[in-house]
Amino acid sequence: MNNKPETYILAIESSCDDTSAAVLYNDKVLSNVVANQKIHSEYGGVVPELASRAHQQNIVPVVHQALKMANIGKNQLSAIAFTKGPGLMGSLLVGSSFAKSMAQALEIPLIAVNHMQAHILAHFINDATQMMPPFPFLCLTISGGHTQIVKVNDYLDMEILGETLDDAVGEAYDKSAKILGLGYPGGPMIDQLAQEGNPLKYKFSKPRVGELEFSFSGLKTGILYFIQAETAKNPNFIEENKADICASIQHTIVSILMDKLGKAVQKTGITHVAIAGGVSANSEIRKQLKATETTKGWTTYIPKFEYTTDNAAMIGIVGYHKFLKGNIDAVDVKATARLSVEKE
Ligand code: KG4
Ligand code: ZN
């Protein structure tokens, strides 16, 4: 018999440039509304002031729509979960103040969620298309702000085995896209253009760092100098070779990620391997990870596309597991720009 309580959780995510609200019934997603902020594409990156202003405009309609799509009333909610950090302070404050006022008005528990734990726990959303990994498993968390290999011991017990010393992999994608004159976010555009290109056409050097460490700032500079040198010779170089350049950048990045993941598996002996975060939407990393099932005997976990980039459903699933443990927060809980995945 299942004696877990029936819970309806409203979750709110506002850490960067997506305003999102979701409603979960236990571990199932009833609605997951995401409002992307188009304004940043003009600037080639997220402008913090514009992001918080857009969150202020979006939050009420997005929450309203999430409740409407889930077909439940505010009074049915068991708790409200929100992103506490890490992220942009101004953006986090919009979501956290909204969540606090609503929880207080409804007199229901408030649950503060670590955004990086949420990317990982997105694997535990109960959805027919996703398989839940057993503990412990390894998770390569790749987003616009983070690049980490995490050993996940339990829902809220995580250990960083290795991480980037400088830029995150999503930044490497976004900055490369900026150099090539593509818009923001650059990851999806490079991924798409790469489909038509030759991944071995251009070689970029890989960083020499510790076994489980990453570094992407040298790669970004390497790409910049390469493009500057080539366009000095041929002003149409980018236009004429866009697909090959993107495919070669993607090949370099994904082979760095796969190489490190291989080392982590070797070191820990754990062969249940997941990916999470915005960059886990990437077609090449998904393909190469999947291939290890036959080539290396790993069991792999690839999140459903809509749970990869920032979304509130992933905040809701952490909220659900914290709620089950009675792990709720006081109304004076503070949003925080920096927060390790190892801390709740
Ligand atoms: O997790 P996320 O939505 O936000 C952060 O928490 O940072 O990740 C955003 C990052 C951006 O850098 C974006 O370019 C990248 O994820 N991204 C991709 C793809 N889709 C999103 N990178 C490579 N390939 C993709 N298909
Ligand atoms: Zn994220």
SS3 of the chain: the string is CCCCCCCEEEEEECCCCEEEEEEEECCEEEEEEEEECHHHHHHCCCCHHHHHHHHHHHHHHHHHHHHHHHCCCHHHCCEEEEEEECCCHHHHHHHHHHHHHHHHHHCCCEEEEEHHHHHHHHHHCCCCCCCCCCCCEEEEEECCCCEEEEEEEECCEEEEEEEECCCCHHHHHHHHHHHCCCCCCHHHHHHHHHCCCCCCCCCCCCCCCCCCCECCHHHHHHHHHHHHHHHHHCCCHHHHHHHHHHHHHHHHHHHHHHHHHHHHHHHHCCCEEEEECHHHHCHHHHHHHHHHHHHCCCEEECCCHHHCCCCCHHHHHHHHHHHHCCCCECCCCCCCCCCCCCCC
Which residues line the pocket of ligand 1, CB cutoff 6 A? 16, 143-145, 170, 173-174, 185-188, 191, 277-279, 281-282, 309-310
pLDDT of residue 335: 97
The rounded Å distance from CA 172 to ligand 1 centre is 10
Substitution candidate for ligand 1 out of 114, 173, 305 with most atoms within 8 A of CB? 173
User: Which ligand is nearest to the Cα of residue 314, counting in written order?
Assistant: 2
pLDDT of residue 38: 79
Q: HSE on the CB side for 190, CA within 13 Å? A: 32
User: Which ligand is nearest to the Cα of residue 18, counting in written order?
Assistant: 1
pLDDT of residue 40: 80
User: Which ligand is nearest to the Cα of residue 144, counting in written order?
Assistant: 1
Per this entry, what is the length of the chain?
A: 344
> What is the C-alpha separation between 82 and 295, in angstroms, rounded?
40
CA-nearest residue for atom 20, ligand 1, is 188
> What does the block give as tokens for 250?
């993607």
What amino acid is encoded at 52 in this protein?
S
Angle between helices 283-295 and 237-268 (to 10 degrees): 40
**Residues carrying CATH 3.30.420.40, the chain:** 8-125+307-324, 137-302
For residues 316 and 22, is the Cβ–Cβ distance under 8 A?
Answer: yes
Q: Which residues pair with 33 in a beta bridge?
A: 21
CA-nearest residue for atom 8, ligand 1, is 278
**Measured from the CA of 284, which atom of ligand 1 is nearest?**
24
pLDDT of residue 3: 66
Burial of 121 (0-12, 13-18, 19+ CB in 10 A): buried
Domain 8-125+307-324 fold? Nucleotidyltransferase; domain 5 (3.30.420)
Q: Note the pTM of the prediction, 2 decimals.
A: 0.96
The rounded Å distance from CA 121 to ligand 2 centre is 12
Domain 137-302 fold? Nucleotidyltransferase; domain 5 (3.30.420)
Substitution candidate for ligand 1 out of 309, 315, 339, 341 with most atoms within 8 A of CB? 309
The rounded Å distance from CA 226 to ligand 2 centre is 30
Chain centroid to Cα 297, Å, comes to 26
The rounded Å distance from CA 314 to ligand 1 centre is 15
CA-nearest residue for atom 5, ligand 1, is 144
CA-nearest residue for atom 3, ligand 1, is 309
Chain centroid to Cα 73, Å, comes to 29
Local confidence pLDDT in tens for the 344 residues of the chain: 456 679 999 999 999 989 999 999 999 999 999 998 777 877 777 889 898 999 999 999 999 999 999 999 999 999 999 999 999 999 999 999 999 999 999 999 999 999 999 999 999 999 999 999 999 999 999 999 999 999 999 999 999 999 999 999 999 999 999 999 998 899 999 999 999 999 999 999 999 999 999 999 999 999 999 999 999 999 999 999 999 999 999 999 999 999 999 999 999 999 999 999 999 999 999 999 999 999 999 999 999 999 999 999 999 999 999 999 999 999 999 999 999 999 99
The rounded Å distance from CA 205 to ligand 1 centre is 22
The rounded Å distance from CA 181 to ligand 2 centre is 24
The rounded Å distance from CA 116 to ligand 2 centre is 7
